[in-house]
A and B are shown apart, each in its own frame.
Chain A
Amino acid sequence: MIVAGLSNEEFASTLRSIPYPFTTNVANTGIEIYHGSDGQFETRAPVRTFTTVNIGNQQRLLAAYTCTPLVDLALSELTPGAQVRGKTIAELGNGNRPIDMIVYQKDGSNFLLMANSSRGVMKIGIDNLDRTESITSPVSDDALVQSHENLSLEDISTWTGIAHLDRLDNAHALVLHNAGGSMNLETRLLP
């Protein structure tokens, strides 16, 4: 079981990996994930939301940080007490906070669907995840949101006001939709 959280006191946020089934003796299994590219400064920022996906026969963790990088790493690297480095595969934009994310398959491809506080819903093609390195430099100065060139990035502009997002089944998402003041629980076809 993987646990991430945000404290009201310590900023440093460790991801915890707890073996399941639970045993009586759970050691401190904190994992520090550093992320970023050459020459960048990093810290143990809090993970806002995360999910796992199987790409290339490898179980991977996708974690979205409060300071906006979307980070990928292999789950096999997450051993108790380790400090591991993730790859920044996308930047989600200033002033934006990731809310929820889900992974799904459509037409034989793997996608990550992500709800954000101010950048709407993004769909990222993640088939090449295991063959993608960290983003090294911004594509251009005015690209507020970017993903690695190996990974497609698409704004789902028709999905507005999504307050929460989860997967219902292979073809549908369940969303909490803020429709002008009233909150609706809706199912939607995955884009």
Chain B
Amino acid sequence: MISEYSRIAARVLRAAAALAAGGALSFTRVDAAEAPAGGGRFNSTRQINGGPPVATERSIFWYEDSSPGNYRYRIEVTGLEPDVLTQARTGNWDTSRWQELFAVYTIEPGQPRSSDFSGRVAIVGSYRLNEDILVFTPQFPLQPGLSYVGVLRQPGPMGIDNRTMVTFTAPERPATPLARITNVFPSTDVLPENLLKFYVHFSAPMQSGDIYRHIHLLDQEGREIELPFLEIGEELWDPSMTRVTLLLDPGRIKRGVRPLEEVGSALHIGETHALVIDRDWTDANGRPLSDAFRKEFRVVEPDRTPPDPAAWTISAPQAGSRTPLSVGFDEPIDHALVQRMVRVTAPTGEPVSGSIMITREERQWTFLPDAAWRPGTYALVVETVIEDLAGNNVGKPFDVDIFENVQRTLTSESVTLPFEVR
């Protein structure tokens, strides 16, 4: 009866401690707590630096990181013995010494639960002390649906080893719709024979590895074109794993290199081709795409003309308004590069903040400023390494005859197009 009362009291205190220590972080849950063997301190609280009360009982709390869904947790352990705290503060402990005090193990699904952890490998992470609280941060996200057990070991009365164990199950990922292909750039369906890139965008993070077997380029008769892409083992993903870049094999684009002379261009002028992506490409959770994807396009003459900012049309907005600035390009521009290689500077030379929209099949760049335009001379600044669909840079075609045109140094890095706001 007394022990039952103590347990309830302990839970209340744990909840209080969780609220106090958790701050802005959300407290998740403690699945099961085994009462410390050999007795523990259950009902004493005290003030730390005048802050909220903190339970000095032994407890192990699991906190989810401030951005839920990324399975980043930290584990806080209270109730460390004064001797242990002193040693931990002064002992310059390495990981193995910390793990003797506190370690987290996985509970393998289907295995009988055991309290024997000898020979088990604890999960890696960093240890630190926050006042009297031990904070353990696993190096990697927890695995959805997997159970973990945190084990605190410290010497108890009369040298009896005293263990506190709390298990925690990382929640299953909520069911989400299957991933799908949201966009493929370039968006136009008329592409030059020397097209350099496709960007494939997905609605959710995807799995990397062996991607090229899901991607096919078909000729007019529906036959698969052999090795059209530069197959790169590392694969060209963005950090969020929702965009992959496909480079058409530059060897089959560039004039004067062997592959182009031997097998010719991957794309054939005048024909309709199709980029086809299989449904069985799996997302980060191992599930297939919702649908297969197909983009048909007609191939036209190669583009060997660099983009020419002087030929771009700028419709200057009115002073005092937040009317978008609209820039029309002389040809479609690379969708990824145009987002970070075109910017607006104020009459002071400072960059103007705002949001960008790319429309008209990457032929138009629209900029909505955060603040109203002021009268004066603004400028559109374009980095010369921006590319069109064939990889031509400003002032520099994709392939140049080097004997006609070798410059000894890298020249101007940006082009400035002034415009008046009245």
Contact = CB atoms under 8 A, between A and B. Distances in A.
A66 B238 contact: no
A179 interface: no
Contact of A43 (B237, B249, B385, B399): B399
Interface in B279-320: none
Contacts of A34: 402, 406
B407 interface: yes
Contact of A42 (B196, B227, B258, B402): B402
A39 B197 contact: no
Contact of B255 (A8, A41, A138): A41
B230 A43 contact: no
A58 B402 CA distance: 25
Contact of A94 (B256, B258, B399, B400): B258
A94 to B, nearest CB: 4
Contacts of A144: 258, 262
A67 B231 contact: no
A45 B256 CA distance: 13
Contacts, number: 115
B362 interface: no
B370 interface: no
Contacts of A69: 257-258
Contacts of B243: 8
B263 A94 contact: yes
A139 B177 CA distance: 56
B332 interface: no
B247 interface: yes
Nearest to A141: B262
A68 interface: yes
A83 B337 contact: no
Interface residues of B, number: 46
Interface stretch (A9-17, A124-132, A151-159, A180-188): A9-17
Given A11-B196, A83-B407, A39 B259 contact: no
Contacts of B76: none
A105 B254 CA distance: 35
Interface in B226-247: 226-227, 230-232, 234, 236-238, 243-245, 247
Interface residues of A, number: 35
Given A66-B250, A94-B251, A9 B337 contact: yes
Contact of A9 (B231, B245, B263, B410): B245
Nearest to A7: B236
B203 interface: no
A85 B231 contact: no
B410 A30 contact: yes
Contacts of B255: 40-41
Given A34-B406, A85-B406, A41 B336 contact: no
A95 B259 contact: yes
B147 to A, nearest CB: 32
Interface of A: 6-12, 30, 32, 34, 36, 38-43, 45-46, 66-69, 81-83, 85, 91, 93-95, 97, 117, 138, 144
17 contacts: A8-B336, A9-B337, A11-B387, A30-B410, A36-B257, A41-B255, A42-B254, A42-B256, A42-B400, A43-B391, A67-B250, A68-B258, A69-B258, A97-B231, A97-B232, A117-B231, A138-B261
Interface of B: 196-197, 226-227, 230-232, 234, 236-238, 243-245, 247, 249-252, 254-259, 261-263, 334, 336-337, 385, 387, 391, 393, 398-403, 406-410
**5 nearest interchain CB pairs?**
A40-B256, A67-B251, A94-B259, A8-B236, A41-B399
Given A41-B255, A41-B401, A43-B399, 15 more contacts: A8-B243, A8-B244, A9-B245, A12-B385, A12-B387, A36-B257, A45-B254, A67-B257, A67-B259, A68-B258, A81-B409, A81-B410, A94-B258, A95-B259, A97-B231
